[in-house]
Amino acid sequence: MEHIYSSFNASFRDGSNHRFHEWLSDNRCLTSVSSSNLLAFTCVTDLKECEPKTQSINVYVIDLNIPHLPNLVTSHAEEVTSLEWDTIGSRLLIGDALGFVHIWSMKDYLINEWQLIYSHSCFLGERILASIWFHNGSKVCINPEKKDLILPYLEKFNYVKFGASVRQFGGKPVTGCMCISSSGIVSCLMLMPDGTFITGEETLGQFRAKVKVIDICYAKNGDFLVVTSNESTKSSINCYRVTVKLCTTYDKPKCNITCQQFSSFYLKCSTNDSYRLITHLKFVLKEAAEAVVVAATGLIGSTVELWELREKPVNLHKMFQTKEFGSSSLQPKTVVWQHHASITHSHTVVAIATPRQSLFDITPPLSYIVVAFRDNVIKCFYRENLQQVCSLNMSMTSIQDTSYNLQKMSNMANLTSIVDMQFTYSGCALIAMDATSQIFVYRVSPIIDPGSVYSPSFIQTLLEYCIITGNDWWDIIICLRPNIIDNVCDKLSEAFLQKQPIGFQQKWMSRFLTIKASLHRCSATNGPVKSGDCYALIWLNTISSVLKSLLRGKDHQDKDGPAEDLNALMHTRGNEIQHTNVDRVLQCIKHKEFFVEGPVLQSLQHLIQWTADFTLFLLASLPQQCHNHCLFPGGGLIFDTKSVNNLRELLVLIRIWGLINEPCLPLFTKLTSDNFDVIELLFKLLSKTVSAIGNEPDESLLDECCLLPNQVLIPQMDFTMKAIGVASPIIFINSHPLIFEYYSDAPFLKYQVKTHSIDGAVHISAGCKIDSIRHIGLGNVSDYNHNVRRCTRCTTVSLLHPFFKSAAARSWDQRWLKNCICGGNWRVQ
């Protein structure tokens, strides 16, 4: 494991708060990582205070890409004992020591704006020990035999049969959560689509019993499997199967909980008086109930045991055996726990981390088990026989404080020890936290080849897995090496563009381009140019889809609609001489099918303006790209036949709509007195460009493009979308670990991106901010304006509450409601 970065509190810098840190040494902080790579954690101090004076239970959320900017969710009155993200990473469950459950949700999908949507007293006065969200029944695994091949995704990935925890009428999964208290009471909460909540309670066993250590996992049939312990090694590890159902009765829906005793076991160390207390119980995988890790401690140190569920034949007395009993398929079997492996250490176990899921469809599932000990040693084990993969001593971890140009080394791990650890969803990174809420992020070696580096083929497979599942890919980006970025991009493009069906490409094209752009942004060689091409293509495809969706064909029309007819015209006969004039193209289509109401067009005028500006930008950049070999972010689309034809189709639509509603037309600043038609000129030049793609460009075309800056104002468009934070070139420029301080800017995050400018173009955004989502100017708006949101992965800014109120404009805004175009999360300054 490689230490990537650490983030610490300002009170730790000067080392004058030793007594305060000693007081916190036994504090129990909790962490939880979402599928969006957001880390939620608890802290007993205010991270903004340089010298904490009082204890307060605070819950923070950070984007792992910018760990120096924590966002406060809530300040809690009681100790937080449970912290869990939901599947999509938008809701956060907080359970406390008094039995209260609070569910918080992002307000307007901002990671620093939170609202309480539900609060419930599950167990009044009882400590909540564990909680878990309902599973939605969706699970995708990689086919291990085809992981390195370039194949259609339906062959490379398997949709594993996995039951949803709770289903409602029609089989739709129910959103909800389950909590278990210290006396073995199970409480379930269901969030219904109409905004109502349904609750239910039941006891794990026949009677309430003392529970000190617990863990919950998902079973394949939709049930939950729970393992509990009363903390004594002399007592058994009890297991229960919990089934939750939504029963619809005549009066109102009801939550039905059924708890059944499952196979239990005694630890192997239970006969050794040296180990007395069980400190940790952890399923090897959150989505597999077939193995559990147990840690016990005593006077001589600690031991970690791995137990697995195995099928075992039942031996019957001869009197009960039948003739068919000899057949292995008919022989009765039972499921029992069997001891698999053990390891020992001279110090107490303080934290155990296991992955949420196995990426591969294989039995037994591949998995790491990471154990942290009191002496600040972290060991990583391979599941098979608990083979040690690596070991690191955090006492040797030192930081160099450069926040105030002080060359001072400080031992981070001598004061406190690790209290919690979490794997990211892809299993590529491990997050550890100590008692003072300091974060340590480690890169984990690939599970298919422990101890080695990530190969381009495996990274390609992991990124394709993110395309399929919708998970965030930040933890995969930090596993890159600069010399394999181009190779990974080539493999990813070949697999997506050449092997996937057309329908699949249309569905996931934007996500594919976003991931590909994220890779290019980390590259120092033409990275901004290549990522700019990806972002420009996303905008073009999305705007084209929105504008064409306004077209409505006739009712009960068997043939293609007007958008499809125009596309066929551009691709089949678009190169003919008579179709190089936009007005002649209008004579070949039915105008009635292209009619759109004027107010709708007016509300999308900013997208129409972007289309015209982008066309000017591409054509004006063509001579420099051909003669001077200058590359511009976004300029590569001028050599893509599909993109150029897409622009031609949009210009035809703009021409038609301009006849319906003239105010929706794009605005041009003409620099000559000649009364020429700009749209007609652009369409003619695009038509000539399509004919020249693949061949040497016509000099007459280049001459006409060179005259454009003298005829009309050319906007210098910026598609760079410079990456910020850890997932940027700084991860390769700076040595590891990177050291962050909460609420303090890190100087090493600054780097320069150099791009060319078009001769004669004007930087229309100079001195003002541009809404990157709606492509409108915001003026010199303040950085602390609460109506301006910012991306956590790039420099994009956008209005939080737009001025456009029409349905068409709202549909555009909703496309970027949850995430930025680069995949980052939104926050306000």
More confident residue, 9 or 295: 295
Helix (H) or strand (E) holding 763: none
Q: How far apart are CA 119 and CA 117, in angstroms?
A: 7
| pLDDT tens digits, 480-496 | 999 999 999 999 999 99
β-pairing, 175-181 with 128-133?
antiparallel
pLDDT for the residue 810: 87
DSSP letter for 319, please.
G
Percent above pLDDT 90 for the chain: 59
Q: How far apart are CA 512 and CA 609, in angstroms?
A: 26
Beta strand spans in 405-505 (E): 408-411, 418-423, 429-434, 439-443
Write the CA distances from 166 to 7, 252, 255, integer angstroms.
39, 17, 10
64 belongs to a structural domain: yes
pLDDT at 554 over 70: no
312 and 439 inside one domain: yes
β-pairing, 2-8 with 738-741?
parallel
pLDDT at 569 over 80: yes
666 and 778 inside one domain: no
354 residue type, one letter: T
Q: How far apart are CA 325 and CA 220, in angstroms?
A: 29
Beta strand spans in 424-533 (E): 429-434, 439-443
pLDDT for the residue 155: 92
Beta carbons of 394 and 388 less than 8 angstroms apart? no
pLDDT for the residue 404: 36
| Beta-bridge partner residues of 430 | 423, 442
Which of 717, 734, 754 finishes a domain? 717
516 belongs to a structural domain: no
**Separation of CA 351 from chain center:** 25
Q: How wide is the angle at C-alpha 745 spanned by C-alphas 783 and 32, nearest 5°?
A: 95
Tokens for 627? 């003669």
Q: How far apart are CA 523 and CA 375, in angstroms?
A: 39
Beta carbons of 188 and 176 less than 8 angstroms apart? yes
725 belongs to a structural domain: no
**Structural domains in the chain (count):** 3
| pLDDT tens digits, 611-638 | 999 999 999 999 998 888 888 999 999 9
Beta carbons of 805 and 600 less than 8 angstroms apart? no
Backbone angles phi, psi at 236, to 5 degrees: -80, 155
pLDDT for the residue 653: 93
For 385-397, the DSSP string reads GGEEEEEEEGGG-
**Arithmetic mean of pLDDT, 795-817:** 86
Tokens for 103? 């569910």
**Confidence (pTM):** 0.92
| pLDDT tens digits, 495-534 | 999 999 999 999 999 999 999 999 999 987 788 999 999 9
pLDDT at 469 over 90: yes
pLDDT for the residue 425: 94
Q: How far apart are CA 66 and CA 232, in angstroms?
A: 42
More confident residue, 559 or 32: 32
**Separation of CA 49 from chain center:** 30
| Beta-bridge partner residues of 224 | 218, 242
Half-sphere exposure of 128 (CA within 13 A, CB side): 31
Beta carbons of 792 and 827 less than 8 angstroms apart? yes
Q: Over the Cα atoms of the chain, what is R_g?
A: 30
Q: Within the chain, what is the greatest distance between any pair of CA atoms?
A: 109
Q: How far apart are CA 493 and CA 505, in angstroms?
A: 11
pLDDT for the residue 411: 45
Q: How far apart are CA 41 and CA 34, in angstroms?
A: 11
Residue-level length of the chain: 829
- Split at pLDDT 50, 70, 90, the class of 283 is very high
pLDDT for the residue 21: 55
| pLDDT tens digits, 81-120 | 999 999 999 999 999 999 999 999 999 999 999 999 999 8
| Beta-bridge partner residues of 95 | 82, 101
Beta carbons of 290 and 340 less than 8 angstroms apart? no
pLDDT for the residue 330: 63
Q: How far apart are CA 633 and CA 629, in angstroms?
A: 13
Report for 47-61, 729-743, 757-771: range of highest mean pLDDT? 729-743
pLDDT for the residue 609: 94
- Split at pLDDT 50, 70, 90, the class of 407 is very low
pLDDT for the residue 403: 42
542 belongs to a structural domain: no
| pLDDT tens digits, 644-701 | 999 999 999 999 999 888 888 999 988 887 788 899 999 999 999 988 888 887 888 8
Four-residue CA torsion sign, 152, 158, 164, 170: positive
Q: How far apart are CA 192 and CA 173, in angstroms?
A: 10
- Give the domain CATH number at 120: 2.130.10.10
94 belongs to a structural domain: yes
pLDDT at 22 over 60: no
pLDDT for the residue 402: 42
Which of helix, strand or coil describes residue 489?
helix
pLDDT for the residue 124: 82
706 and 770 inside one domain: no
Beta carbons of 540 and 510 less than 8 angstroms apart? no
pLDDT for the residue 406: 36
269 residue type, one letter: C
132 and 208 inside one domain: yes
pLDDT for the residue 12: 59
pLDDT at 462 over 90: yes
Q: How far apart are CA 536 and CA 541, in angstroms?
A: 9
Write the CA distances from 419 to 63, 433, 437, 742, integer angstroms.
20, 6, 9, 19
Which of helix, strand or coil describes residue 71?
strand
504 belongs to a structural domain: no
711 and 646 inside one domain: yes
> Considering the chain, what is the average pLDDT of its residues?
88
**Arithmetic mean of pLDDT, 375-384:** 92
pLDDT at 800 over 60: yes
309 and 163 inside one domain: yes
Query: Could you tell me which residues come within 8 angstroms of residue 200 by beta carbon, excluding any fewer than 6 positions away?
Result: 187, 188, 244, 254, 255, 256, 257
Tokens for 410? 């400080």
Q: Which of 348, 396, 337, 341 is nearest to 374 (CA)?
A: 348
Q: How far apart are CA 646 and CA 207, in angstroms?
A: 69
200 belongs to a structural domain: yes
β-pairing, 333-345 with 275-285?
unpaired
697 and 799 inside one domain: no
Which of 390, 415, 443 finishes a domain? 443
**Separation of CA 772 from chain center:** 21
Q: How far apart are CA 107 and CA 91, in angstroms?
A: 10
Q: Which domain holds residue 769?
A: 765-828
Q: Which of 620, 614, 623 is nearest to 646 (CA)?
A: 614
256 and 401 inside one domain: yes
- Split at pLDDT 50, 70, 90, the class of 400 is very low
Helical H runs in 220-343? Answer: none
| pLDDT tens digits, 153-165 | 999 999 998 999 9
| Beta-bridge partner residues of 260 | 241
- Split at pLDDT 50, 70, 90, the class of 582 is confident
pLDDT at 251 over 90: no
Say which residue the tokens 């600040």 belong to: 376
143 and 290 inside one domain: yes
Q: How far apart are CA 373 and CA 583, in angstroms?
A: 76
86 and 152 inside one domain: yes
For 406-422, the DSSP string reads --EEEESTTT--EEEEE
pLDDT at 256 over 60: yes
Which of 687, 717, 747 finishes a domain? 717
Q: How far apart are CA 268 and CA 204, in angstroms?
A: 25
Which of helix, strand or coil describes residue 280?
strand
- Split at pLDDT 50, 70, 90, the class of 756 is confident
Beta carbons of 103 and 117 less than 8 angstroms apart? yes
663 and 779 inside one domain: no
pLDDT at 409 over 50: no
Q: How far apart are CA 64 and CA 124, in angstroms?
A: 35
pLDDT at 352 over 90: yes
747 belongs to a structural domain: no
478 residue type, one letter: I
pLDDT for the residue 326: 56
More confident residue, 754 or 442: 442
97 and 207 inside one domain: yes
pLDDT for the residue 760: 85
More confident residue, 333 or 202: 202
pLDDT for the residue 64: 96
